Structure 1
Amino acid sequence: MSTTIPKTMKALKSFGPKDVRVVDDAPVPECPPGYMLVKVEAIALNPTDWKHADLLAQPGYHHTLGCDYAGVVLSLGPSITKSFNPGDRVSGYVHGSKHEDPSAGCFAQYAKVKADIQIHVPDHITFEEAATWPTGINTVGQGMYSPDGLELPWPDAPSKEATKVLIYGASTNTGVWAVQFAKLSGLYVIATCSERNFGAVRALGADEVFDYRDGVECGRRVREATGDGLGYAFDCVSEGDSMAICAAALTSKPNVARYGALLPVEFPRSDVKTSFTIGYTVIGEEFTFFGNKVPAKPEDFEFGKKWWALSEKLLAEGKIKGEPTIREGGLNGVVKGFEDMKAGRVSRQKLVYRIGDTS
């Protein structure tokens, strides 16, 4: 595949707090060792995207946003161990809005991506669906299966005991993936969501579903339904009442239960082992998060390579899948998507935009 790569491109840039604009003269990123350059076909939104733009962006920024994409390989840098070639259809996780690197994001016509944690997209799967994969799958891997998370049985070595796990926020995008992976892991899945999403969550494989809007009473009902035997909770919301509900749901037996969150939270029970992970550590590089330096974790990069290799296989076989909600406008439409997410108008939906629709 021979493609002329331009010097500049359209990109969605953050220029400071709540200052997000589409530009048409952003430099096309260089391709350093371990990276490859891709032509982006579709992107998908995550809460971390607008939170970086609103809460973490600093005056003087010119940072490309975006973590989730699908596209086509154009060129490869040195030091890549996974097999990729120009022309391959790919998807994967990107560290958008990285403080140290204004060109790191993927909400653009072209993006540089850490090659060994990207995956091939089969011809029968659209770019729009593939763009829904990266952040949710990466978060579930780290939060539910890594040594820093809940350390649950992997889908390729499922539990034979139907171990009970609570997926709090099962109708969120991360929750949708969590339920699917948990079922492949042979787990007995108890889920929370709003009643209007009960059917959809059961269709994913949840064994029992409870309405989180009942507050702590929801947790008490889960504990009763599980005979005070719930050992694991994965909190896909990590805000509001979610900690209290999970605390009430987990077994009352001390020093037995484990709780995993998406954010650093104060859990109301000291007798429960808690954990949280930051998705960006999968890149294996140092970065700044809320003003604090997070050191490189090579072990997370190695975990990511194994996790994404397994996920690539499961996705190709159709054992797990994403559901895109395609919106018009390309990069120009993303800011409206951010506003809808902030206002709570997005639940199970994964908002996806085609780069080619950018005016």
Structure 2
Amino acid sequence: MKAIVVVKSGEAAIVEKVEPELRPNYVKVKVRAVALNPKAEADRTTPLPADWKHIDLFARGGETVGCDFSGIVTKIGCSVTSDVKVGDAIYGLVHGSKIGCRDTGAFAEYAVVKDGLFAKIPPNQTFEDAATWGSATVTNILGLWQKLDLPTPSQPSKEKFPLLVYGGSSAMGMVAIQLAKLAGLYVVTTASKRNFELLKREYGVDAVFDYNDPDCAALIRQETGDNLRYVFDCISNDSSARISAESLAPSATATGTLHYCKLLPVDSFPRSDVEQSVVLGYTAFGEAFEFFGRQRQPVPADYAICTRYWPLMTSLIADGRLKASRFEVREGGLDGIFEGLQVLREGKNSAMKLVYRISR
């Protein structure tokens, strides 16, 4: 098969390689479409979630790139328990650019996917729609329902308390807003002014504020009545951390524990009275992996919660209650992906995922 493989740090190319080996608890798919994961800015200091950063920052060579996919099942491992058969159309997530492993990665003609981290594509979704859901599904499950322990759409909150989704026009933010609204929360967010109406009209956010406004945090505190206890930071840099800290309730003792969940490590968070957590999506696979020279141990609980809630996410999509983040389909197949990666490197995308068809 053909695949986009890291040749050396900072360089990837299309190469011909043997199809990935099918393990007992995996399925093999013929890839139909893939989505590129953007970062809201061309920030080279943090590695996630952008696929181009895997190439440029920490992959060593030999790894297949790409995480989000949709495709057709061609083979099923002997230990797979999911209700799936050969010929089914599925979407899901793979561990792209996994160091020391040449059999994972979505930017290829064939991919292998772990049981529980995929689902059948609902009838109301195209292959291109479905390709955008993998990372968003895992990240929001881990962030909203595990790290922050917030209510789910299946068990909505009886109290309409506020949540700040920082970076509402990001791919993760758009999904987080909808899930929080379906769970009965009062959702405020930040974005650039050009995306205000999009977030209100399409994704139902209750209030949106300009992160460039010097009074952004003060306005959020006013909107939430100084009672904001939860922040889901989908941007995760020093500026978002500062605004998030200033937006939270002024006293943890008066309102209960304050929680700040980020998608990336942040160098400094200017409050010591806030409980912090970080989502590292690779833990969803429940397997060991290397990350920036550090060996990470398996986290079975992360795999368990993702497999538990993936069917809920799929049902919300199928019912039309959950809309995908905005995306643009571009031509060129595997070759075209290199153009998309460069667009993301240069930070030229906004409120949009890039999707490429790999086969028909």
Which band: TM-score by shorter chain? Answer: over 0.9
| Rounded Cα–Cα distance in structure 2 between residues aligned with 1:347 and 1:260 | 22
- Residue 112 of structure 1 is matched in structure 2 by 112
Q: Deviations over 1:218-261 (max 9, x none)?
A: 11111122111111111000014100000110000135311100
The answer to whether the Cα contact below 8 Å between 2:123 and 2:318 also exists between their aligned partners in 1 is: no
The answer to whether the Cα contact below 8 Å between 1:15 and 1:57 also exists between their aligned partners in 2 is: no
Residue 294 of structure 2 is aligned with which of 282, 286, 292? Answer: 292
Match of 2:335, SS state, is helix
Q: Deviations over 1:133-178 (max 9, x none)?
A: 01012111101111xx111001100111111000100000000111
- Residue 46 of structure 1 is matched in structure 2 by 37
- Residue 4 of structure 1 is matched in structure 2 by none
Matched residue type, 2:3 = A
| Rounded Cα–Cα distance in structure 2 between residues aligned with 1:152 and 1:123 | 29
Superposition CA RMSD, Å: 1.2
Greater CA drift, 291-300 or 36-45? 291-300
The answer to whether the Cα contact below 8 Å between 1:39 and 1:109 also exists between their aligned partners in 2 is: yes
Q: Deviations over 1:1-43 (max 9, x none)?
A: xxxxxxxx111111112211112x2110111011000000000
| Rounded Cα–Cα distance in structure 1 between residues aligned with 2:180 and 2:252 | 24
Q: Does 1:11 align with 2:12?
A: no
Aligned-residue offset at 1:333:
1.3
Q: Does 1:37 align with 2:39?
A: no
- Residue 224 of structure 2 is matched in structure 1 by 226
| Rounded Cα–Cα distance in structure 2 between residues aligned with 1:202 and 1:143 | 22
Greater CA drift, 34-43 or 256-265? 256-265
Match of 1:213, SS state, is coil
- Residue 213 of structure 1 is matched in structure 2 by 212
Q: Does 1:327 align with 2:330?
A: yes
Aligned-residue offset at 1:124:
3.2
Percent of aligned pairs sharing the same letter = 44
TM-score by length of 2: 0.93
Structure 2 unmatched runs, 5+: 39-49
Structure 1 unmatched runs, 5+: 1-8
Aligned-residue offset at 1:117:
1.7
The answer to whether the Cα contact below 8 Å between 2:238 and 2:269 also exists between their aligned partners in 1 is: no
- Residue 101 of structure 1 is matched in structure 2 by 101
| Rounded Cα–Cα distance in structure 1 between residues aligned with 2:75 and 2:359 | 20
Aligned-residue offset at 1:123:
3.2
Q: Does 1:20 align with 2:12?
A: yes
Q: Deviations over 1:31-64 (max 9, x none)?
A: 1011000000000001431111000022xx1111
Aligned-residue offset at 1:213:
1.0
| Rounded Cα–Cα distance in structure 1 between residues aligned with 2:311 and 2:124 | 19
- Residue 168 of structure 1 is matched in structure 2 by 166
Matched residue type, 1:339 = Q
The answer to whether the Cα contact below 8 Å between 1:34 and 1:116 also exists between their aligned partners in 2 is: no
- Residue 5 of structure 1 is matched in structure 2 by none
- Residue 180 of structure 2 is matched in structure 1 by 182
Aligned-residue offset at 1:100:
2.4
Aligned-residue offset at 1:356:
2.7
Matched residue type, 2:131 = A
Residue 307 of structure 1 is aligned with which of 306, 309, 325? Answer: 309
Matched residue type, 1:313 = S
The answer to whether the Cα contact below 8 Å between 1:167 and 1:192 also exists between their aligned partners in 2 is: yes
Matched residue type, 1:227 = G
Greater CA drift, 243-252 or 332-341? 332-341
| Rounded Cα–Cα distance in structure 2 between residues aligned with 1:141 and 1:122 | 19
- Residue 252 of structure 1 is matched in structure 2 by 250
Q: Deviations over 1:238-294 (max 9, x none)?
A: 014100000110000135311100012221100011100210111111000111111
| Rounded Cα–Cα distance in structure 2 between residues aligned with 1:183 and 1:287 | 34
Matched residue type, 2:308 = K
- Residue 154 of structure 1 is matched in structure 2 by 152
The answer to whether the Cα contact below 8 Å between 1:12 and 1:331 also exists between their aligned partners in 2 is: yes
The answer to whether the Cα contact below 8 Å between 1:119 and 1:309 also exists between their aligned partners in 2 is: yes
The answer to whether the Cα contact below 8 Å between 1:17 and 1:54 also exists between their aligned partners in 2 is: yes
- Residue 355 of structure 2 is matched in structure 1 by 352
